[in-house]
Amino acid sequence: MSATPSEDEVLSYFERCSNWGRWGADDTLGTMNHLTPEARRAAAGLVRDGIGVTCARRIPKGHEDDFVAPPLHYMVSSGETFAGKETRPDALQVSTDFIGLEYHGFAVTHLDALCHLFRDGKMYNGLPADRVTTSGGATAHAVENLRDGVVGRGVLLDIAAQRGVPWLEPGDGVFPQDLEAAEERAGLRVGTGDILLCRFGMMARRNALGPSRQVFSTRPGLHASCLPWLHEREVAVLGSDSAQDLYPSGYPRLRAPVHQVGIVAMGLWLLDNCDLEPLADACQRAGRWEFLFTMAPLRIANGTGSPVNPIAVF
């Protein structure tokens, strides 16, 4: 195992892994620039069986312990109005509902926009943090910059399976050598423009033991030392079945290095809180850990992110 980097070394990743100016001073796509039209066309060739697999967690109707706040879901109209009653032939019988949720956190599958994190009062590509305001929302680097969707080669690195365990325990860190061992197990190499999904087994643990507020205080995840690896491999989107970061990180001045360095310095799009259990099963059945990946964020004006339902297609 390589030496764990010091905090000063991890802080140096803000410069070492920076993509500021790489695609121009006005760039709003960050690492999505790695996902070229050519890469999308190549990814389409991975579809052989036409089978789709969701990578999203179910949003419950009500509170569960690992939600920051309970989703709001109430009916505006329901079938109770019409059941067992005669209505006019021209009557429109409908049910409608309202849904509201705080999607950032550790329960809703969501995409973080590049305005979600700041460092020293700046966000990706050096824009000032006050481009995100209380009254206006994100007037720069909003999630709508990905309004045309994410389509490319998805790769699953099953870290838990590579270690021979059903899930990683809270506080278990994942290091570059773990990523490379999982690559070897999958028989592939993560490369430019890939959507990388890392399975820690968080949903397997939740399914077995139930939801827990422990996720707010300790979680397995990627160690900060993975950041140069992600930068060098030119990953377009990083997702996992947690919120990416090992927590606590082990670095007092960096609470969430993968988020902080990844979003602010690299312009790396992060996909938090996937459910990768169905995908892991599908990969095992198919005998391959690469697939066409699709994701369509909502067009939320000035939004700092979006709930999403990512789909892997085999």
Q: CATH number for the domain including 176?
A: 3.50.30.50
Query: What does the DSSP assignment read for 235-299?
Result: -SEEEESS-SB-BS-S-TT-SSHHHIIIIIII--EEEES---HHHHHHHHHHT-SEEEEEE----
Summary mean pLDDT of the chain: 96
For residues 149 and 138, give the distance between their C-alpha atoms in angstroms, rounded to a whole number: 19
Find, among 176, 142, 165, the residue nearest to 301 by Cα.
142
Identify whether 84 is part of a domain. no
Range of the domain at 225: 7-68+103-313
CA gyration radius for the chain? 20
Predicted confidence at residue 88, as pLDDT, reads: 76
pLDDT more than 70, % of the chain? 99
Predicted confidence at residue 120, as pLDDT, reads: 97
Predicted confidence at residue 14, as pLDDT, reads: 98
Predicted confidence at residue 226, as pLDDT, reads: 98
Q: What is the domain count for the chain?
A: 1
Predicted confidence at residue 2, as pLDDT, reads: 61
Predicted confidence at residue 87, as pLDDT, reads: 74
pLDDT digits (tens, 9 = 90+) for 245-272: 999 999 999 999 999 999 999 999 999 9
Identify whether 133 is part of a domain. yes
Identify whether 36 is part of a domain. yes
For residues 176 and 154, give the distance between their C-alpha atoms in angstroms, rounded to a whole number: 19
Identify whether 200 is part of a domain. yes
**Which segments in the chain show pLDDT lower than 50?**
1
Identify whether 214 is part of a domain. yes
- Helix, strand or coil for residue 133? strand
Identify whether 92 is part of a domain. no
